[in-house]
């Protein structure tokens, strides 16, 4: 009989899911603060009139950091299983790798076309 009452007092996965999990408000305020700081840094890149690859590298870096914070905290990916996180985060990462490979390939193709057509003149 004691075993039945012990099991009845323990929360099950269904009751824990139904109640939900509340995160402290401090976590959301800290993330909001970091998003504000990163957005300010992104605007400062334009304010200081940075140009070229440095400008775009910083803008993309700040954008990715902000997106990572939003996905991790507001979409609750920080508390998900690792397999689910890999299923959601790995495809965009691989897409970025493939885009980088294509960028290098396009530079090679452009260089070879310049050399070929210049030699024909």
Q: Compare 75 and 85 and report the one with higher pLDDT.
A: 75
22 neighbors 76 (Cβ within 8 angstroms): no
Kindly report, residue by residue over 9-62, the tens digit of the pLDDT. 544 444 445 566 788 999 999 999 999 999 999 999 999 999 999 999 999 999
| Over residues 85-90, mean pLDDT | 82
- For 40, the token pair is 């300010």
Shared domain for 76 and 111, answered yes or no, is: no
* Structure token digits, residue 51: 């140009």
Indicate if 96 and 77 belong to the same structural domain: no
Alpha-carbon distance values, 121 to 42, 60, 68, 110, 111 (Å): 46, 41, 51, 17, 16
Residues 76 and 95 in one domain: no
57 and 100 share one domain: no
Q: Tell me the C-alpha distance between 63 and 93, whole Å.
A: 14
Q: Give the tens place of pLDDT for each residue, 45-54.
A: 999 999 999 9
pLDDT of amino acid 32: 96
pLDDT for the residue 6:
47
**Residues 55 and 104 grouped into a single domain:** no
Contact 61, 39 (CB under 8 A): no
Both 71 and 113 in a single domain? no
The residue segments making up the domain with residue 56 are 2-81
pTM of the shown model: 0.60
Can you list the alpha helix ranges (DSSP code H) found in the chain?
A: 2-9, 13-19, 25-47, 52-69, 82-120
Percent of the chain topping pLDDT 90: 53
**Predicted local distance difference test score (pLDDT) of residue 119:** 65
């Amino acid at each position: 009989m004691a075993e039945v009452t012990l099991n009845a007092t323990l929360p099950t996965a269904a009751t824990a899911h139904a109640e939900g999990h509340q995160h402290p408000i401090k976590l959301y305020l800290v993330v909001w603060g970091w998003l504000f700081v990163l957005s300010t840094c992104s605007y400062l890149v334009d304010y200081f009139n940075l140009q070229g690859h440095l400008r775009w590298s910083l803008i993309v870096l700040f954008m990715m950091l902000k997106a990572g914070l939003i996905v991790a905290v507001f979409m609750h990916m920080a508390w998900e299983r690792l397999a689910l996180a890999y299923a959601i985060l790995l495809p965009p990462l691989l897409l970025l790798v493939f885009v980088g490979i294509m960028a290098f390939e396009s530079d090679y193709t452009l260089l070879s076309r310049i050399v070929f057509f210049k030699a024909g003149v």
